[in-house]
Chains A and B, each alone.
Chain A
Amino acid sequence: MVYSVVVISLKVAIAASALCLLIGIPLARLMAHRRGFPFRILRVITSLPLILPPTVVGWFLLTVFSSRRPVGQWLESIGFPLVFDWKGAALAAFAGSLPMFLGPVVTAFESVDPNLPAFARTLGLSRIRVFLKVTLPLAAPGIWSGLALAFARSLGDFGASLVVAGNIPQSTQTLSMAIYDAIHDSNESAAWGLIAVSVAIAVAALLIADRQGRRTW
């Protein structure tokens, strides 16, 4: 039981962190240095999961991805159901961790000396290569700390995941849900065991991120 809970939690946290990298990095690059009205709206929208009750975030996701809705129906038809599936929990965890990820990453992009990428163009590098070879590596320490926060946050996601994916043992039950069950059932030893595992994973993740995120120049 512990094994499946840990595996599901790790799957959820890794998938949510990967989504943060995939969607969060371009989004952060877009938001850096921009102060216009559309970007303020974007900032508010991406910060909402931080303020709203997680159940509300879950409810929004459930509404969009439920099998009764077109998006949900289509996803089900291609064999990618989200509701009552660990992938739904990953999506919910992603929504919750995106604002945590964006904070340090936007700051990291803003702290890159804009003269460096501009100059790199004169060396014959296209915009995309400048981004990959100059901007991204210079922002890497901030991206690592964003990733650590996002991973730790996804690992502990509860409310939103519960609403979207449910608490199905061996299928969608994550560490935080199993801990809730153990407390609910007054199973103190199981609760302590699961808490110890989640603390160990979180500490390991933060230590790795701290090591990787150190500036080496």
Chain B
Amino acid sequence: MVIWDIQLRLTHPTLKANITFDHPIVAIMGPSGSGKTSLARCLVGLLRAESSRIAIGDTILEDTERGILIPPDQRGIGYVPQNDLLMPHLSVRDNLTLSPHSMEGGGGVTLEQAIEALELGPLLSRRPSVLSGGERRRVAMGRALLSARRALVLDEPLTGLDDRLRNEVLRYLQRLLHDFPRPTLLITHRADEATALATHGALMEGGVVHETGGIPHVLNNFPGSTDGTMSIMEGTVIATPGSCERDTTTISVGVTHWVATSSIIFREGSTVRIFLDADDVILATSRPTGVSARNVLSVRVVGLELIGGAAIVHLSPDDPQCVFKARITAQSAARFALKIGDEVFALVKSHALRIR
């Protein structure tokens, strides 16, 4: 069943989207200025597109052809805008209860549950001006949750926070989406946020939605993004530290086994994502011996891009599930005379793999 159906066309600012998802938690990714916020404003009804069709589940919020336009106050979309927009004249409690739906538990969340989940209790009588960045973000999330009868739209919910606070707010957000599930659209310019929260997504650039699908697929098909050198693969944990006296986690991606070290112990059989930076991959033209790297894979060159002085080599052991990238200098690529179809060996240290 389609959960998100977003068809938008707008000239100023440029916005073109044709997205449908049958997954509840999706991420819209793209560099800043790519029109992600305009998309969010269209969804919540604060920006009107020239032609549009927006439906969440079986509720049509906008359909220019059929003359349907639900005003923002009746959409039931909880919205966390980029700069929080807490009401400065109201206490935290009054900010949370500003929505008329907050008291009736409209979105299946009561005020008490929201306060508890986001640990807002000690802040209730404070004014927004005395809150820290992370606290403000939590209040904004609670307020959105309490008005989110139908869906949640989060616009860069972790931007502007330092690393420690980002991780803290991310944990709250993960818990929120887990405890109070509802269709959620996350807007972010960071691949790690998208992978941590969403399963599927779309990429935007210049106001246009390019690529949609599962997060790994989307990120791997976007060489222009800041994460263009990050490979993401989905796999199954087949051995964990402790079993057979190992200190590493083994993950099978298709027929390929990756050996990684991880501080988190995953359950055997659980599905995880592997993140691999192209700079952490060494290429060899013949099988090397006597190396410390735990991953030595026989792979084929399936793609080759030259960006400046570097070559991004797309590699795969003839398995579409397992595709990753290596960045080498253009000089090395020329020395090896690399071309698509060549067989090479890829060396990756177990420490270079990050698992989530």
Show the binding face of A for B, using Cβ within 8 Å.
115-116, 118-126, 129, 133-134, 137-138, 140, 216-217
Q: A119-B79, A123-B101, A134-B87 are in contact. List 14 more A-B contacts (CB 8 A).
A: A119-B85, A121-B45, A121-B46, A121-B73, A122-B44, A122-B147, A123-B98, A123-B143, A123-B147, A124-B74, A133-B98, A137-B89, A216-B89, A217-B89
In the assembled complex, which residues on chain A have CB atoms less than 8 Å from the CB atom of B44?
122
Give the number of residues in B that approach A within 8 Å (Cβ atoms).
Answer: 29
A115 touching B81 by the CB < 8 A rule?
yes
Instruction: Check B147 against A115 for contact (C-beta < 8 Å).
Output: no
B129:A124 contact, CB within 8 angstroms:
no
Residues of B within 8 A of A122 (CB): 44-46, 72-73, 75, 77-79, 147
Q: Is B223 an interface residue (CB 8 A)?
A: no
What is the distance, in angstroms, from B93's C-beta to the closest C-beta of chain A? 14
Contact partners of A125 in chain B: CB under 8 A: 73, 98-100
- Tell me the dominant secondary structure on chain A's binding face: helix
**Nearest CB to that of A127 among chain B residues?**
B73
Q: Chain B contacts of A126 at CB under 8 A?
A: 73
Interface residue ranges, B against A (CB under 8 Å): 44-46, 71-79, 81, 83, 85, 87-90, 98-101, 106, 127-129, 143, 147
Smallest Cβ distance from B28 to chain A, in angstroms?
17
A115 and B98 within 8 A (CB): no
CB contacts (< 8 Å) of A115 on chain B: these are 81, 83, 85
Q: Which B residue's beta carbon lies closest to that of A216?
A: B89
A137 CA to B129 CA, complexed, in Å? 16
The answer to whether A118 and B98 touch (CB under 8 A), given A123-B147, A217-B127, is no
The answer on a CB contact under 8 Å between A124 and B89 is no
| A214: min CB distance to chain B, Å | 12
Task: List 8 A-B pairs, minimum CB-CB distance, nearest first.
Answer: A123-B99, A121-B72, A217-B88, A122-B79, A119-B85, A123-B147, A122-B44, A137-B89
A138 to B88, CA, bound (A): 8
CA distance A140 to B89 in the complex (A): 10
Closest chain B residue to A217 by CB distance? B88
**A143 CB to closest chain B CB, in angstroms?**
13
Asked whether, in the complex, the Cβ of A124 is within 8 Å of the Cβ of B81, the reply is no
